[in-house]
Amino acid sequence: MTMAGSVLAPNPAPAAAPSPAPRKQRTGRALSDRRTRFGLLNATPVVVYLLILFIYPIFSTLMLSLKGEDGAFTLHWYTDAFRGANLEILLTTLRISAETSLLALGIGFLLASAISRLKPLWAGLAMIVVVVPHFISALVRTYGWIILLGDNGVVNNVLTDLHFPGAPFQLLYNEIGVVIGTTAVMLPYTVLLLYAVMKGIDRRLLAAAASMGAGRITIFRRVYVPLVAPGLVNAGVLSFILCLGYYLTPALMGGEKQTMVASLIDEQVMKQNQWNGASALGIILLLLTFAGLLLLKLLKSAGEALRNRGTAS
């Protein structure tokens, strides 16, 4: 469960107005000074901790990626990363991340919309099936897929028994295996993110659209999808970002052609002692992640602007 809990915040960060209701102004001054000091005191441990064990290490990774063998500034680790086999691995990473996040998004959409229509009891049970795997080690779940997808695994046996044309299939150590395994790891994220949005939708809006004569497809396209859109964007971009740096499943279920950046970094550090190159790859991953987050932010504000214009007119 190496990625568990990621990006699942209790509430969207309330950027402003952190303090409780405005206090009376005079006494407020002195009181707020004390509250500020108390806050700083309590915030110090975590901030110091993360500065030393999170920010500083990333910063030193950045420095290392810019340093040549002679210690002088260089960009050649980056140009190396975008050449030959390394470039191919970068592109593979982007391709597998795109395939996986689209699949997880599609499947997650189906499941979340089905669950959001169930009665509370059944919805609760279905959510347990979604949440429990999320907290079970991704390594273990990947191993489960290796057992399932082997040449004599359950999946191939069932397909052979059904006389499915072409069975048994090669499902391991190729892209099919990697995408199946990684999608299974990302699916709980997309389902949880989409379910949260879908539960908040007022289903009377759909009924209202129907009463005005809209057909099913129109309702889905013009009412439901726009309402769910923020969740779709969130879930899609997030699972893409999480895939980018993912290691376990591609390393265990993929072949040569499914090597992802994380595996390359691992190999460069552990086997080739090539820390500078690995650092450059890490920074590239980091920048791609930032780009994804920035995209998310832009889409969010674009969506809000669009909605505001809609209500104004």
Shortest distance in whole angstroms from residue 76 CB to another protein:
19
Count the site residues for another protein by CB under 8 A.
114
Contact positions with another protein (CB under 8 A) in 63-92: 64
Q: Is 10 in the site for another protein (CB under 8 A)?
A: yes
Name which position in 3, 167, 176, 229 contacts another protein (CB under 8 A).
3
Residue type, 189: Y
**Nearest CA to 111 among 183, 192, 185?**
192
Q: Is 157 in the site for another protein (CB under 8 A)?
A: yes
The answer for residues whose C-beta is within 8 angstroms of residue 114's C-beta and 6 or more apart is: 126
The backbone torsions φ and ψ at residue 67, rounded to the nearest 5 degrees and listed phi first, read: -110, 130
Name which position in 29, 39, 160, 215 contacts another protein (CB under 8 A).
39
**Helix H segments across 223-313?**
225-244, 248-253, 261-270, 275-312
Q: Is 278 in the site for another protein (CB under 8 A)?
A: yes
| Residues 131, 137, 142, 143, CA torsion sign | negative
Q: Is 254 in the site for another protein (CB under 8 A)?
A: no
Q: Pseudo-torsion of CA 166, 92, 282, 105, nearest 10°?
A: -70
Shortest distance in whole angstroms from residue 96 CB to another protein:
14
Mask: binding to another protein, 110-129, rule CB under 8 A, as x and -?
A: xx-xxx----------x--x
Q: Is 293 in the site for another protein (CB under 8 A)?
A: yes
Name which position in 26, 119, 163, 204 contacts another protein (CB under 8 A).
204
Q: Of 69-77, 80-88, 159-167, 277-285, which part binds another protein (CB under 8 A)?
A: 277-285
Identify whether the C-beta of residue 243 lies closer than 8 Å to the C-beta of residue 185: no
